[in-house]
Structure 1
C-alpha cells in the first residue's frame, strides 16, 4: 500500500493510512514513530512532545475531503523540494514520499487521494490485531531493556495455561457449523505454522471472549471485549447508523483504555501502540463514507489470487501464464454478462426438496413413513396448534414425517438432531443450533427435526427444538455482548416454532471457563451444562 499510495511506511511520523493529522512519537534516539496519543511522563523528545491528543475531537474534525485538500498541498511541497535535504525534511513533515501512481488518472473519474485507498478490514482485524494482543498476553512481545516483563500483569498466557487454552480452542471444532468455513486449529501448536486469517477471525472474535475469560485479568479482558464487539459490528455486510455510532464509541473507549492499561505513559512502552490500535478508529467513518468494509475488503482479492494461482499450468513462465488466465477469465465473464443463458441455473432446487416462502427450503433426508414423536415433542405440537386456534386433546399424539435439513435465505444449511446424533462427534461439524426470532425476541434452539404440519387445511412448515436458557446477564454486560453463555435445557424446554423464524445457524459449544469459575458460587447447579455461542462473522450481531 505504501508503494501504491506514495506514503511513508507504518513507522513514519505521519503514518495514518487515512491521512489524519495525528503525529507519532518516538523513543529518545530512535527513528521509529508510534501513534501514541497520550504524552508519556517526563518526555521531552523534540517534535514529539506535544500534549495529549483527544481522539474523539480529532476524528470529528477529520474528513476525507479535508484530508484530500491537505494531501494535495503537502504533495506539492514535497515535489517542489529544492534538494535532497529539503526533500527529507518535507517527507518527514508530510508523510509523503512521492506522487501516487493513481495521481496520473483523470480526477473526474476517480475518488480523490487518499480517500481512494479505503481501509482493509481483513488484514487489520484478522492479522495485525492478533499479532499484537496474543504476544502481549503471552509475554512474548518485544520488551525494552529499561522495562521488565515481570511488571506485565497481563502476560498470563504461558506454560501449561497456554497449552490448555489451545486444547480448548481445538475442542470447539465439532461444534462449529460447516458454513463457518475453516475452524481454528490449536493455537498453542499451530499459530506459527500458517495460521490462516479466517482461523484468527473465528478464534479471536468468536471463541476468544469465552476462552480468555478468567485467564486475562478482568480489566484487560473487558478492554479486549470492547474491541471485539466493535469489530463484530464493523464486519457486518450491512450496518445501521446506530450500530456505526455504537462501534465508534466502543473504539474510542478501547483506544483510551488500551493506552492507559498497557502503556501507562511509559516511554519504554511506546512500541505497544502500533497502527493497528489507531487505524480501527477510522473504520466507522469509512463505513459511512464508503460502505461496510466487508464489501471492499481484501478477502475478495485474496480469493481471486488463489483461484488464478491454481490455474497456472506453465511454470517456466508463471507470470505471463497467470496474466493470460486473468484475460481469459475476463473474456468468459464478459460473455456470461452478454448471454447469461450460457451458464446453467445453479440454484435449481435439489431433488426431493420443498420450497417455502421467503427463501427457505426444506431438504432431505425425510422419513419413509409417518412416525410417532416423544411425549414432550407431542406436547409442543399440541401447544403450537392451540396457539393457531386448533386445540387438540391431551391424548393426541401425532405421527409425523420428519425432514432433516432446511436451507436458510442467507445460504446456510440448518440441520437437526435427528440425523446428527447418529454421527460420531469426531466426524461432524454440528449445524443443528439456530438463532430464531419470535415476537422480536431472540432465542437459541437445538432443532430436533422439521415437519410440514397441516392445521385447518393449511400446511405450516414447523421445527421442533429444545430451547437454551437465557444468557448470563452480568457476563453479557461486562463483555459488551460478546460472551453469551447459557444453560442447555435439552428435552426440558421443547417447543414448536415456524421454520421461517430461523435467522441463522450458530455455534453452541460446551463452556470450559464458566464452570471453573462459578461452580463454588452457584450451588443451585446453574453452573452445570453451560454452553457458549459464536455467530458467523459478517452476520447481524445479537441485539440482546
Structure 2
C-alpha cells in the first residue's frame, strides 16, 4: 500500500505480518489443510508464497473468514483483532441461506460499526490515508438493507452468478452461433424453473441421488451409511461399550458388545462424515479430516469426534464419538462468536446418527499462529485449544 508523506509506515501499528512473522503465519495457514474436510473444497495455500500468484477467491474466503480469527489471535493487536472479528461475524451472517430477523438486525448494526471503526482505526481522517477506505469497506453498510430487498447474499452473490454462467456455458451445443444458443438455453432454464415453482412435484428429491453406492445402507431422511464396514462382528469393550449401552438403554450397564463398524455417513446436506476408525490409519498429510461433526445431544449442539458408526438390533444407526469441550466463553464473546476454541475430546459418548447436523473443521491453533498442539500462555486460553469452523 502506498504511504504518502507526512504519514509514515512506522505509525502503522497494525502492520505486524512482516518478515518472519509473515512466513510463520503463512505456514500456519498451509498447515491447516489436513484439518479442513474435503467438502470445504479448495484449501487456502500458504499466502506468504502464493498470495500474488493465482490465489483463488475461495481461498481468500477460507483464509480470512474461516481461519483468520483464530490464526491472527495474539498476533494482531487486540483492538484491530476485535474489529476484524466483528467484520468476520457480519460475513458469517450474510452467507447463511436463512437469516433470522434478530440476527439480521445484529449483523447490520455490526456492519455499520465496522465501517465507522475502520475509518477511526485506519483512516484516522488523514487525507494521506484516504485510499485505505476501499469500496468494499463501504459496501458492508448495504448488506443488511439489500438482504431485506433481494434476500440472503448466498443467493445473489457473485458465486451464484458465476456458477450459473458456467452451467449455461456447458450447455452450449451450437458453436457456430454460441450467443443465440446461450440465449435459448437461458430461456429454457427459466421456463423449467417456472414450471417447478408452479408444480413443486416436478422437482422430486428422488432425482437428486437416483443411485446409491454399492453396499450402502439407506437410513431414510437422506442419511446413508457408506462403507468401509467390518466383515465380522467386532468386540467393543469398557467405556465405549458403556456409552453405547447407555444410549440403547440396555438392561445391563456392563459387559462387552459385538457389532459391525461402519466408516462413513452421508448427510442430507451432501457432506460425508467420516470416522477415526479409518482416518487415523492414514498419514496426516494424506487426510482431509472429516470426522468432526456438529451434533444435537439432549437439545444442545455439541462438537464430537466420531470413532465409528454402527447399527442397533432394531436397525437404527448410531455413532460412537468423543466430545470436545464447550467453547472458551471469554474468547467466544471477545471474537463476536467467530472463534470456537475447545479442548481436545475425551471419553466416549454415543448418539443417534440422524442427530448429526454437519461436518466441521477442528484446527489446532495457538496465539502466535503456529498450527500445532501446544499449551496456551494467554489468560483466556490456559490449556490446549482447538478452533471450530462452522
TM-score when normalising by structure 1:
0.64
Tell me the number of residue pairs that the alignment of Structure 1 and Structure 2 aligns: 378
Are 1:416 and 1:449, in contact at CA under 8 Å, matched by a contact in 2? yes
Superposed CA RMSD: 2.8
Match of 1:347 in 2: 209
Matched, 1:502 2:361: no
Is 1:265 the counterpart of 2:125 in the alignment? yes
Match of 2:319? 463
2:290 is matched with 431
Cα distance change of structure 1 residues 175 and 374 upon mapping to structure 2, 3 Å threshold = farther
1:324 Cα deviation (Å)?
5.4
Change in 2 beyond 3 A, CA 1:380/1:269: same
Q: Normalized per residue, which structure has more strand?
A: 2
8 Å Cα contact 1:515/1:527 also seen in 2: no
- 1:283 deviation in Å? 0.8
Q: Cα gap change, 1:270/1:167 in structure 2, threshold over 3 Å: closer, same or farther? A: same
**TM-score normalized by the length of structure 2:** 0.89
Is 1:375 aligned to 2:238, yes or no?
Answer: yes
- 1:228 aligned residue: 88
* Equivalent residues of 1:309, 1:322 under 8 A apart: no
Q: Is the 8 A contact 1:175 1:507 kept in 2?
A: yes
1:398: Cα distance to partner? 0.6
- Secondary structure at the aligned position of 1:480 is classed as coil
Distance 1:405 1:496 in 2: 16
Partner of 1:534: 389
Q: Paired residue for 1:161?
A: 21
Listed as ranges, the matches of 1:105-124 within 5 Å are none
Pairing 1:207-222 to 2, within 5 Å after superposition = 207-222=67-82
Equivalent of 1:417, from 268, 276, 279? 276
SS state of the match for residue 103, structure 2?
Answer: helix
Alignment partners' CA distance in 1, 2:190 and 2:65 = 38
Note the alpha carbon deviations across 1:177-205, whole angstroms, 9 max, x for none. Answer: 11111111111111111111111111110
> Secondary structure of 1:355's match?
strand
- Note if contact 2:295-2:358 (Cα within 8 Å) is conserved in structure 1: yes
Preserved CA contact (<8 Å) 2:237 2:257: no
Residue 358 of structure 1: how far off its partner (Å):
2.9
Residue 219 of structure 2 aligns with which residue?
356
Tell me the CA shift for residue 240 of structure 1: 0.6
Tell me the alpha carbon deviations over residues 93-145 of structure 1, each in whole angstroms, 9 at most, x when there is no partner. Answer: xxxxxxxxxxxxxxxxxxxxxxxxxxxxxxxxxxxxxxxxxxxxxxxx22122
Establish whether residue 238 from structure 1 lines up as the match of residue 95 from structure 2: no
CA deviations 1:473-516 (Å, max 9, x no partner) are 11111101111111112xx3210001111110001111143798
Larger Cα Rg: Structure 1 or Structure 2?
A: 1
Alpha carbons of structure 1 residues 325 and 422: separation in structure 2 relative to 1, 3 Å? farther
Q: Is contact 1:406–1:415 with CA below 8 Å preserved after alignment?
A: yes
Query: CA shift at 1:256, angstroms?
Result: 2.0
Post-superposition offset of 1:278: 1.4
**Residue 274, structure 1, aligned to residue 134, structure 2:** yes
Deviation at 1:325, TM superposition (A): 5.4
**Which runs of no fewer than 5 residues in structure 1 stay unpaired?**
1-140, 536-544
Distance 1:345 1:380 in 2: 38
Note closer, same or farther for the CA distance 1:220–1:469 as it changes in structure 2 (3 Å cut): same
Aligned residues of 1:451 and 1:462 also touching (Cα < 8 A): yes
When residues 515 and 292 of structure 1 are mapped into structure 2, their CA distance, relative to the original with a 3 A threshold, is closer
Residue in structure 1 matched with residue 307 of structure 2 by the alignment? 448
Note the alpha carbon deviations across 1:344-373, whole angstroms, 9 max, x for none. Answer: 945123222222243222122211111112
Task: Give secondary structure in 2 for the equivalent of 1:459.
Answer: coil
The worse-fitting range, judged by mean Cα deviation, of 419-428 and 352-361 is 352-361
Q: 1:275 to 1:435 in 2, by over 3 A?
A: same
SS in 2 for 1:493: strand
CA contact 1:514–1:527 (8 Å) conserved in 2: no
Query: Does residue 27 of structure 2 align to residue 173 of structure 1?
Result: no
User: Post-superposition shift, 1:470?
Assistant: 1.7
**2:160 — aligned with what?**
300
* Higher RCO (Cα < 8 Å, 6 or more apart): 2
Counterpart Cα distance in 2 of 1:307 and 1:271: 37
